[in-house]
Structure formats: C-alpha cells, structure tokens
Amino acid sequence: MGTYNKGILGPFSGKVGTVVGANWRGKDVMRSLPKKTDRTPTETQLLQREKFTAVSNFLTPISNVLSLYYGSGSGELTRRNQAMSYHMKDAVTYVDPNFEILFDKVQISKGDLLGVQNPAASSSSPGEIKFTWENNSEQGSAKATDQLVVVLYSPMEDIYYTNGNAATRDAGTVTLTLPAYFSGLEVQVWITFASATGKSYATSVYLGAVTVS
C-alpha cells in the first residue's frame, strides 16, 4: 500500500489499471489489486478464515463500544482492528468443528483509566440486573463522574445489550431494566469505566454469566 499526493485532477477512488485508490484514515492511498489464483486453500488457511469470521461476527455488534474505548486512536491500526488482533490471538479457541469465543478473555475496552473495583452482578427481580462496585473515585485519575459502560451477550439467542452511561463511578450501584426478551436468558457480562469526556477509559472486567430473572 502506498500513499500519494493529489494530482491536478485530485484524488481517485476505485480501480484504475492494476491499482485501487481509496481514502484510509484521512490518507489517500493506492493498493495493488490482489492476484487471481486457482489454488485450493489449505486446511490451515480455511481454519484461519473460520477463526477470523467467528471473532468478527462476535465483535461487530459491539463495534460502537470498541470504536470509542479500545486501545489507541492513533497509529496504523483502527481501534476495531486492535480489538480484532487481540481477540484473534487470546480470546478464541477451536472446539471441533467450530471456533468458540473465550468469554473470560473478551475485552470490551482497553485503556489506562482506573478500573472497576470489586464488582458484582446479580438478578433477583424480573428483567433486571443489579450491579455493585466500590467507589474508588479518589484514587489515581479516577473521577466520581466516570461513566459505567455495560455489555451483555446471550450466546443462546446471539443478542447483545449495551449501555454507555449506566451510572457514575461514585454511585456504587445501579439496577438496569433490560428489554423483555432477555428474561430467562443467561447472559455474559462485561463492564468498564470511561471518563465523562470519553477521552480516557479502563480495561474492562468480565463478571461471568448471570441468568436474568
């Protein structure tokens, strides 16, 4: 991939000859067209494609969270690609005949803000999940106004719930009312903190599985 300065006719996009022009992260770039091949993919290549698909399918529904709170917003890799790289390496495993996500390794955010201290999640009222944590807003760069971010996932129904401002750090507890279709489902739970401005964020915490009453 190469970058180029705009000529007298400006930048181009799409295929021109053997190259493709596009705008990537604010830069005008050119890529060579992929070479056609009649080779049959090897078993290793097929497995790698399946692995990529499994991770991509899991992360795509929470792209809105990852694009805000995962890794650095500068550099060659987008936040989404940073998340893909981590999860491809550390958060997926092969259980014949499929790849499975390792929920305890999943990260919905990755940053340097002080994280959630002694969190817990439970469900005792219909359609609700209660979260508790210790208020550590006086430590380090943590502030009372930091926002609790919640992601829930039901493997059985393949559905997600996200909330980007569930509560402030100093609240210490919050009860969320979920859509009715979550009642009776077991959900995987991740939470994290992000500053009120969204410029800083913690690395997420996995709270395990909770069955919604």
Q: CB neighbours of 2 closer than 8 A, spacing ≥ 6? A: 29, 30
Q: What is the pLDDT along the chain (213 residues), one digit of tens a residue?
A: 554 455 544 555 556 666 666 666 566 666 666 666 678 889 889 999 999 999 999 999 999 999 999 999 888 899 999 999 999 999 999 999 999 999 999 999 999 999 999 999 999 999 999 999 999 998 999 999 999 999 999 999 999 999 999 999 999 999 999 999 999 999 999 999 999 999 999 999 999 999 999
Give phi and psi for 201, each to the nearest 5.
-160, 160
Query: Which residue matches tokens 């969320």?
Result: 176
CA-nearest of 165, 157, 148, 159 to 205 is 148
Tell me, what's the pLDDT at 4?
A: 47
Tell me, what's the pLDDT at 188?
A: 99
CA-nearest of 72, 75, 94, 93 to 83 is 72
Tell me, what's the pLDDT at 8?
A: 47
Tell me, what's the pLDDT at 39?
A: 83
Tell me, what's the pLDDT at 42?
A: 93
Which domains does the chain carry?
43-105 (no CATH), 117-211 (2.60.40.10)
Tell me, what's the pLDDT at 76?
A: 86
Look up residue 48 and give its DSSP letter: H
